[in-house]
Structure 1
Amino acid sequence: MCIAVLHAGFSVCYMLFGVIALLCHGNWRLIQLIAGLSWILFLPSLFFITESPMWLIQKHKYGKAEKVLQTFAKFNKKTLLTGNILEVDKETQNKSPAVESKVKKERQYTLVDIFKTPRLRFRALIMCFNWFACSFVYYGISLNTDQIGNNPYTTFILAGLVEIPGRLLAWGLLKVFGRRWSLCGFAFVGGLALILSVPPEIEEVSVAIAMVAKLCIAATFTIVYLYAAEIYPTVVRNTGMGMSSMSARAGSIISPYVMLLDVIWAPMPFVVMGVTSMISGLLALLMLPETKNKKLPETLREGEFFGTSKAVGLKGESKLKDKITNDAHELKPSKSSEAEETSDKAEKSEELGTVNEAYQ
């Protein structure tokens, strides 16, 4: 829901940008000035947005984490007892050099780790292609609305308006059909509509079909943000999201030039964008696992076996039956460290309970 609302806000500003361009009579210098100065409105948000308490706890900044949790609890009219967090903070500061060295040497996962195992690597590439396709088609339509209809300002504003129901519809269908079918459905229908928007000679029909394509592509963008975050294991989630976003930027870079293909064949730009969208949707349906109501992967091993018969448990994914033997970085703990590991897990469990209490 949060992703859908945030993306709907993006669509509102998209429409507003078209209104500003209309009022400025297409003066690009004035439009650029207004767009640049508008960011000043967001400066006050620096004083209201807090850091993630989970991230602060992972970085052993327990004092700051307590302040954030107290803020959340106060806003939700809850009473939170977090004295234990301060005690842990003091203990952390007084740790022996050996333990401090262990904390500093915590494993830092990188982009390379995503490509070490075959199944996770393949899924990451499919996800990156979906992001590429979404951005390629989305900006291919958005930056070339003057090719659809006679009034570029009206078409641009309308293209932003149809995004809002598309993003909210995506949120609703995600709860019913899951991620794979929703992503495939929107991407396939959007691509097909984009291809069909070319033949009609009646302008109103062509614009209407193109707007259906824009609605579907906006919905796919909302879905891939959620889907990618659920596909990548926790230890490489930020890295995976960054890689996917980079792929989307590649699509947005290419999109302004797609219209140059009309010198070969007039409908070709729309056919290329439509086919790209349809292929990405089919790949997601056939190659990616469903994540709805599943325990999401946390480690690289869980990410590798996620959605397969080798991952079994209470919700079908919570316990691994086999292990990846070629992961040299994930070593089995020795017996001498089991007691310390158990203590660390108990400490983290208590901290997570405090966090959940603040969010309720």
Structure 2
Amino acid sequence: MNIATLTASSSLGLKEKIKAHIELLDPVTWISVFPCLACGVMGSGAMQPTWHDYLLLLLLFVMYGPLGTGFSQSVNDYFDLELDRLNEPTRPIPSGRISEREAIWNWGIVLFAALAISIALSIHIGGQRGLILSVCMASGLIFGYIYSAPPFKLKKNIFLSAPAVGMSYGVITYLSANALFSEIRPEVVWLAVLNFFMAISLIIMNDFKSEKGDAESGMKSLTVLVGSRYTFLTAFIIIDLVFAGFAILAWQWGFHLLMYMILVSLVVNILVQIPIYRDPRTGASFMQGAVSDGFGNAIGKSEVHEHNAFLRFQVINNILFLINQFVAAGMIGMKYM
């Protein structure tokens, strides 16, 4: 660390230092796990409107949101310091608001807190369900660390990083939330599988934001390997197959109205995908207002044209997928009540 960085870190007041530590945990990413947690709970059909169950739900959300997801983001910033100096120089560590030692304290504390809550919840519910919850949380924290940290640094290769993200955000969240209140429902497992592949497709496109830095540092993101158009095509094929598989499952579960909702969502998605594939830089520009003035605070904003196109698509795709996901989880839960 150079003298200027050390001086910037030490000169911050307590309030600014706390804000920098929270920023290092990247709060905007916490909400990414909340829908899966909520649907996992809904799909169990077993949560009761009691203070006890509300407390369990709160601990679950804190464990996977600010602590679990925050841990992975803090670790990522720590080990990506040199890359962030190029791609995101305003982040807490490269900007000098937090020292590297303080960053270690940051992710060390949230790691300990996440493990403590996980162990407490696992002991509280006990049995196989407790084991599932503790194994899921431990797996998520391990993935969160080796995703960014050497020697594994899974993020250097899209064929390793995307499945790791899919498992962390799309599978263990669903299973943990379900296990907290009931035995694992087979339909919930299928929803987790769908979220696994949806997360893979989204992380593939999210790499647009760091394409320049990835290329210079030797990271093998799909956009570096095959270019923007084929990256979009690959992600869109995965997404469309997820919606098609979701429709088939809904039909098999007897949720026929839901199946029609999913098919309509698939058609809408394809109509948005076509202009983006044709022009990866400016496609679906009619959605730019939603990113600039509306959802941008939740999903982020970008100066990279291809990443901005991904954000425009994400507004439509995520809303459609979330609506169908919540409806499915609610119907599954009602089946087991």
Task: Provide TM-score, normalisation by structure 1.
Answer: 0.28
- Greater per-residue helix proportion: 2
**TM superposition score normalised by structure 2:** 0.30
